[in-house]
Structure 1
Amino acid sequence: MNATAQIRQLESAVTDSPLLGPVLAAWGEIALPDVRLVAGAVAQTVWNQAHDFPPVFGISDIDLVYFDAADLSEEAEVRHSRRINALFDGASTRFDVKNEARVHLWYEAKFGYAIPPYRSAEAAIATFPTTATAVGIRPSKGGMDICAPFGFDDLMRLIVRPNKTQITAAIYRAKVTRWQALWPKLTVVGW
C-alpha cells in the first residue's frame, strides 16, 4: 500500500470512529495552540479496524498534545484538560491533555532522567515510544494534517517497533505486553 492509500485509510479510520470522529468534528472548540490528536487512540483505532474489533476497544484515553511555550504552568494545562473533558462529557474515554512545551519540567521526576525542552509538538511526537504511535493528526482545509516522523508503514502493517530516542526498554516492554494481549495480530519488534 502506498503512502497516499495509507493516509486515506488512516483518515477514514479516525473520522469514522465514534470516539475520534466527534473530536475532529469539534476541533475548533478545542482551541489550543499547535494541538494534535496523537498516539494510542490514533494507532489503536487503526488496530481495531484491522482486527475487526469495535472502534473503541482497548482505548484507555485520548491524548491531545499542544505546544504553548508562553504558559508553562501546570495550572494552565489542568485548566485546558478540564475544559476539554467537559466539552466531550459524553465520551466513553477521558482526555489526557499535555503541553509538550512543559514536559521537560516533570519528566525526570516521573521517569528518572531529564530531557531537553521540546521545540514543537512535532518534535515531541518524534520521541513517542514506538514508531507506530508516533503519529499526530488534526483537521485541515485539505483533509488531515498528519505528523508521522517515521511514516505510516509500521502503523498500517501492525508493527510495533521501539523508538529508542527517549524511552527505556522497561517502558517499551510494559506497553507492548498490554498491547499484545489486546491486539494479537500485532508484530512486536524486540528492544
Structure 2
Amino acid sequence: MVNEKEIIEIIKEDEWMMDILKAAKSLNLPDWWVCAGFVRSKVWDTLHHFSDRTPIPDIDVIYFDPANIDELEEKKLEETLKNLLPNTPWSVKNEARMHIKSNMSPYTSAVDAISKFPETATALGVKLDEKDNVILTAPCGISDVLQLKVKPNHFFTEDKERINIYEERIAKKDWKSIWPKLTIQYVKDTY
C-alpha cells in the first residue's frame, strides 16, 4: 500500500466499513466524515497482514454545523445510528464546538478539525459522495500512517498542556502492543 487510491480500495472492499459509511451518510449531516481510528486501524491492520480486524473503541462520526452546537443533538444522532447498526460503538461530534475541548481557536470545517488531531497518522477521514464513492481526506498527509509512524501533529508540540495530551494518549492507547511494527515518536519536554 503506497497511496490514497489503495487506502480507498481497501475500504471499498470492506463490507463492514461500507455499512458504517452508508449509515453515517444517511444522517445527511453537513461536512461529515468517519475518521481517526476507523481509517488508521484499517491501514495498520493491512500493513501488519492481520487476517482479523483489530477492534476499535468507537466509530468517530464528525460533522460541522455552527448553527446547532447543542451536545444533545449529537446524542440523538448517536441513537439514530444505534438503531441502524446496534452493535456499533458510535461517537458523534459536531466539530463546531470541539475546539473548546482542545483549547484551540474555533475550527472552520470538519477537515480543519481533523488537521488538528493529536497524531498525524490519525488525522484521516473518509465519507461517501452522492454516488457512494469513498472520499479520503488526509490534511496531514498519508506518509506517516503508511510508514507506521506515530508522531505528534505540530499543534501538539507547541505548549506543555498539548504535549501532555499527546503523550498521555500514546501511553493510554499502547498501540505498539497491537501493531508491533509501529515507530512511536515522543515529544521532548522543553519546559
Q: Indicate the TM-score class for this superposition, using the shorter chain for normalisation.
A: 0.7 to 0.9
Question: What is the identity percentage for the equivalent residue pairs of Structure 1 and Structure 2?
Answer: 34
SS of 1:68's partner is: coil
Map Cα deviations across residues 60-100 of structure 1 (whole Å, 9 max, x no partner): 11111100111011111111122112221143xx0111000
Map Cα deviations across residues 13-67 of structure 1 (whole Å, 9 max, x no partner): 2223343221124453132111001111110111111112245314111111100
Structure 2 counterpart of 1:96, from 60, 70, 91: 91
Structure 2 counterpart of 1:119, from 86, 108, 118: 108
Instruction: Give the structure 2 partner of residue 13 of structure 1.
Output: 10
Q: TM-score, normalised by structure 1?
A: 0.84
The root-mean-square deviation of aligned C-alpha atoms, in Å, is 2.1
How many residues are treated as equivalent by the alignment? 180
Distance in 1 separating the partners of 2:14 and 2:93:
22
Instruction: Give the structure 2 partner of residue 73 of structure 1.
Output: 70
Distance in 2 separating the partners of 1:90 and 1:97:
15
Residue 189 of structure 1, CA deviation? 1.9
The ranges of structure 1 where at least 4 consecutive aligned residues each deviate by more than 3 angstroms after the TM superposition are: 25-28
Equivalent pair of 2:48/2:181 in contact (CA under 8 Å)? yes
In structure 2, give the amino acid aligned to 1:102.
R
Where do residues 22-171 of structure 1 align in structure 2 (5 Å cutoff)? 22-91=19-88, 94-105=89-100, 107=101, 114-140=103-129, 141=131, 143-166=133-156, 168-171=162-165
Unaligned 5+ residue runs, structure 1? none
Map Cα deviations across residues 131-181 of structure 1 (whole Å, 9 max, x no partner): 111011112248332221111111111111111314722322233331111
Q: TM-score, normalised by structure 2?
A: 0.84
Equivalent pair of 1:128/1:134 in contact (CA under 8 Å)? yes
In structure 2, give the amino acid aligned to 1:86.
N
Instruction: Give the structure 1 partner of residue 178 of structure 2.
Output: 182
In structure 2, give the amino acid aligned to 1:149.
P
Unaligned 5+ residue runs, structure 2? none
